Amino acid sequence: MKLRILVFEDESIIRKAICTFLRRKGCEVLDFPSPVTCALVSGQPCECPREHACADLIITDMNMPGMTGLELVRLLADKGCHAPPQNKIVISSLLSPEQEAEFNALGCHFLPKPFELAELWQLVRSCAENTPHDRELTPVEDLWKTTGHQQ
């Protein structure tokens, strides 16, 4: 089973490094500079079949233009995102104690910057253990259509 990961990171150097690393590890990675490309976030009608998740794992930066990683995780939970809460990783240089407590309450992981890619891989592997082997994902072609992204 190939793990599908969505990466939301506005810093292109960091996003490219994470994506290249995860792809070399055999993951299918879709990357975005902003969470507003997600139909659940932008308020656009989501074309994803709601019985399937769009990804096994979501990695998001905390500080992005327009929305924080915490706001993204909260919004996805409120809107019924099918990716399990324990399969969401937020990366950030610093979190307040309140933010850290909320991430813990939401069941998410926090990875402090700077981090080694090996640390990220450990978290990804841990999240992969939460992924049912018989899970069905939205076809990637349909997912790209919901973002307005051209392949």
Please say if the pLDDT value at position 4 is more than 70: yes
pLDDT for res 140 = 79
What span, in angstroms and rounded, lies between the C-alpha atoms of 73 and 3?
Answer: 19
Cis peptide before 114 (omega within 30 of 0): yes
Q: Are strands 63-64 and 4-8 parallel, antiparallel or unpaired?
A: unpaired
pLDDT for res 7 = 94
CATH superfamily of 4-133: Response regulator (3.40.50.2300)
Q: Are 127 and 90 in contact (CB under 8 A)?
A: no
Q: Are 97 and 43 in contact (CB under 8 A)?
A: no
DSSP assignments along 40-85, one per residue: HHH-SPP-S-TTSBS-SEEEEESEETTEEHHHHHHHHHHTT--S-G
pLDDT for res 134 = 83
| Beta-bridge partners for 4 | 28
Q: Note if the pTM is more than 0.75.
A: yes
**pLDDT band with cut points at 50, 70 and 90 for residue 151:** very low
Please say if the pLDDT value at position 146 is more than 60: no
Tens of pLDDT, residues 105-141: 888 999 999 999 999 999 999 999 988 888 888 787 7
pLDDT for res 150 = 45
